[in-house]
Structure 1
Amino acid sequence: MAAERLRSVLAPAVRLGCTADFEQESLPVDEVPGWFAAVGSGGEERVPQFARAGRGAYAEHTGGGRPWHLQDWLYRFDPDEDSRGWEWWDATVAGPSRVHVWVDSWGESFFGCQDLLWAAFTAGAVRVEGPTVQKAAVWSAERNSQPNP
């Protein structure tokens, strides 16, 4: 479930990165899930429990990291933005309560990923390990072992 929610958040952000005019004051949010838009905005009545728990887990994991406002998070997908050190690839289910998040870090083992952590935790991650560098073949083998939706 967390993998599907993570995909539902990252897919529109990646599309915006390819199509949006990042010179505008704000980016369109109509494709972003409402729960994700609400989790950083204070719209508590629209924030499901998994996202509330994720917001707390993010703060704990990052040593008090503040919630991301939706527009700030979306602007990280500006193709000219240098501070995002990763490119979305995939999420695979690795067990009953384990999801592997796959990104391209251009071979770097250490990269800025606070924005990715925010998405993962608010999508339902309870704990995050890594990042670790893996070869594409590891992802391919895991992806090919996934049940067809």
Structure 2
Amino acid sequence: MLEHSASEEIARFTARPAGTTPPAVTALRVEPVGDPQTYAHRLREVLSGAVRTGAAQGFDVDALDESRIPSWFSAVTATTAVRGTTAANGTTAAHGTAAAHGTAGTAGKTPADVPGEVAAGAVRYGADRDEDPWDLQEWLFCFDPQLRRWRWWDATTPDGHTVLVWLDTRGETVIPCEELRWAAYACGARSVTGPLPLPVEDWRRQPSAGLPGAPA
């Protein structure tokens, strides 16, 4: 099982990784609907909120705090009051339940909260994966380090158009990460492929994307 250092992972959401690099990394290749820097910033914000929630609250609870999750992400993520049973692949039996029961999303959120790129990405997830939007509580519980087989490494722009989302998987090339794929789409992706095993040297050559002060 992958050991997590939450503080180290949280730091990488707001700064390019420094120090020892993993011996092997994998990456999701994302084609954003809009600007890649804006996209990468959104993804960092969402995933950081989920990791920080787990670090602060733990997972031995009935419901996780949703206040660290951006309102626009909550607005495209269905919400139910009951958490499903965790399956062996790290997803839960409740996936899709909220959409099936007609739940529109977190209370108080309106379509006006959602950027157009985000709405388009959420639609693409359904089209590409043939899945309903994730339940927000279910999604948050997937960040339990006892279940999650990846940790955030970085996001880069190899060509100024696409975004590579780099993951430390401790050398594993095939991992369950549908919760990450949902976030990648829902932050405004037109397409998401991978995870793909890539040389860590590729990451070193590419500029990080979505960090504070990153060029547009």
**Which of structure 1's runs of 4+ aligned residues deviate more than 4 A?**
144-148
Other structure's SS at 1:94 match: coil
1:68-111 C-alpha deviation (Å, 9 max, x unpaired):
11111111111222xx3321111112233211101112222221
Aligned pairs (5 A) from 1:60-79: 60-62=127-129, 64-79=130-145
Equivalence for 1:55: 122
- Larger C-alpha radius of gyration, 1 or 2? 2
Query: Structure 2 CA distance, aligned partners of 1:32 and 1:140?
Result: 30
Of Structure 1 and Structure 2, the greater helix share is in 1
Equivalence for 1:105: 169
State the identity %: 38
Are residue 133 (structure 1) and residue 200 (structure 2) matched? no
Are residue 96 (structure 1) and residue 160 (structure 2) matched? yes
Does the CA contact (< 8 Å) of 1:16 and 1:77 recur in 2? no
Instruction: With a CA cutoff of 8 Å and minimum separation of 6, indicate the structure with the bigger relative contact order.
Output: 2
Residue number among 20, 29, 48 corresponding to 1:11 in the alignment:
48
Does the CA contact (< 8 Å) of 2:41 and 2:209 recur in 1? no
Are residue 80 (structure 1) and residue 117 (structure 2) matched? no
Query: Structure 1 CA distance, aligned partners of 2:66 and 2:144?
Result: 15
Query: Structure 1 CA distance, aligned partners of 2:200 and 2:160?
Result: 23
Residue number among 166, 174, 183 corresponding to 1:119 in the alignment:
183
Does the CA contact (< 8 Å) of 1:35 and 1:47 recur in 2? yes
Which TM-score applies when normalising by structure 2? 0.61
Q: Alignment length, in residue pairs? A: 146
Other structure's SS at 2:179 match: helix
- How far is 1:141 from its partner? 2.1
Other structure's SS at 1:53 match: helix
Which TM-score applies when normalising by structure 1? 0.86
Does the CA contact (< 8 Å) of 1:92 and 1:99 recur in 2? yes
Other structure's SS at 2:155 match: strand
Q: What 5-or-longer segments of structure 1 have no aligned partner?
A: none
Pairwise CA RMSD = 2.2
Query: More deviation in 25-34 or 2-11?
Result: 25-34
Equivalence for 1:23: 60
Query: More deviation in 96-105 or 131-140?
Result: 131-140
- How far is 1:144 from its partner? 6.8
Q: What 5-or-longer segments of structure 2 have no aligned partner?
A: 1-37, 79-103
Query: Structure 2 CA distance, aligned partners of 1:145 and 1:30?
Result: 25
Query: Structure 1 CA distance, aligned partners of 2:67 and 2:39?
Result: 21
Query: More deviation in 49-58 or 68-77?
Result: 49-58
